Amino acid sequence: MATRVCPQCGSQYVASVRRCIDCDVVLVDQPADRDDAEAPTAGGATPVNGGDEVAYELEGWSNQLKLSLEGMLDRASIRRVWEAAVLVVPAEFEAEVDALIATVEGVDVEDLDEDEVQVAFDVHELTAEELDDLDARLYAAGIAHAWTEELELLVAEAAADEVADTIEAILDDPEADDGEAAADDGVDVHARLTTLYVAVDKLVKDPLGTKAVARFLTASEGIDGLGVPYGLSGEDWASFLATVADLITVVQAEGDGDDVLEAIDAELAPRDEDGEELDAEDVEEVDEAVDRSGDAGEEPVVDRHGLARDLAFALRDRLRDLT
């Protein structure tokens, strides 16, 4: 399988991905002399929970590979949960999941040739789940593709008709509105959280930017309706959702002096340029260096840009632990 790796953290991605979502650096081609034994492969199915379910060890799989498998599982209506890097499914689906994993590990998706005529698809109308489904379908079909910063899908002109049909099929899927039932069945939220992580990572760099905010709002839509992720307490999940809600409030606010923003600001620990929380002494130095008083006689105003940035840092840290 054609792959790329991050030169900083070593994470592996399929060849259509251009940048590492953690380090935000351009990926490099996988060295040709890489030992095949190092390629991420799934372990065989292991019976768990009295044999009613089977577990697959996916240690070493990148988020991109997991997202591709997630889309295929969703299309096949296979119930599943993720326990860190372990996929657990009902034993009755073992044969189907074996085949899907073999597809993900065996499909060779070549690099999108930059010298070839390309077609760009505007896919902003697709939900986060539909985008994951689209990526999985293209990956399974071996169609080389790439995503731009503006969330446009790039494919070779020769594959444009097939891609257009795929997008139309996703939009016409009668099961597309069955998300609430899927959540009730305990379907994992890993893919949604990964999508949200990518959006929040962009927001850290441009806290009030129009495109970054729009991407975050799209990714966060419906998060509060998902079930509690495996291994997380209800209290921790509620706290996480509160942080998401606070960030939504801040990026959508129109005025800096709103009482709601002041309340959020008062509860949040400020951070430095690297996202590290400041101690009391550092906070005092920042307050002395920054004029937050507004016009004469007016109450101090909230730095909405800084507040959005600090919230995005805090949310990204929590998402990193969850994904």
Residue ranges per structural domain of the chain: 1-37, 40-106, 112-188, 190-289+300-322
| pLDDT tops 60 at residue 295 | no
As a whole number of angstroms, the distance between CA 311 and CA 250 comes to: 9
| Predicted confidence (pLDDT) per residue in 64-103, tens digit | 677 778 777 877 888 888 877 788 899 999 988 888 887 7
Residue 299 confidence class, pLDDT cut points 50, 70, 90: low
Contacts 24+ apart (CB under 8 A), 112-116: 112/15, 112/16, 112/144, 112/145, 112/146, 112/154, 112/155, 112/156, 113/144, 113/156, 116/156, 116/157
pTM across the whole model: 0.42
Residue whose entry in the numeric block shows the structure tokens 């930059």: 114
Name which residue leads in pLDDT, 216 or 32: 216
As a whole number of angstroms, the distance between CA 22 and CA 197 comes to: 9
| Predicted confidence (pLDDT) per residue in 105-130, tens digit | 765 556 677 788 888 888 887 887 78
| pLDDT tops 90 at residue 319 | no
How many residues comprise the chain? 323
CATH 2.60.40 correct for 40-106: no
| pLDDT tops 90 at residue 256 | no
- pLDDT the model gives residue 33: 42
As a whole number of angstroms, the distance between CA 92 and CA 114 comes to: 43
Encoding tokens for residue 296? 């004469």
Look over the chain and give the mean of its residue pLDDT values, rounded to a whole number.
75
| Predicted confidence (pLDDT) per residue in 147-195, tens digit | 776 778 888 888 899 988 888 888 876 555 544 444 333 345 677 888 8
- pLDDT the model gives residue 109: 58
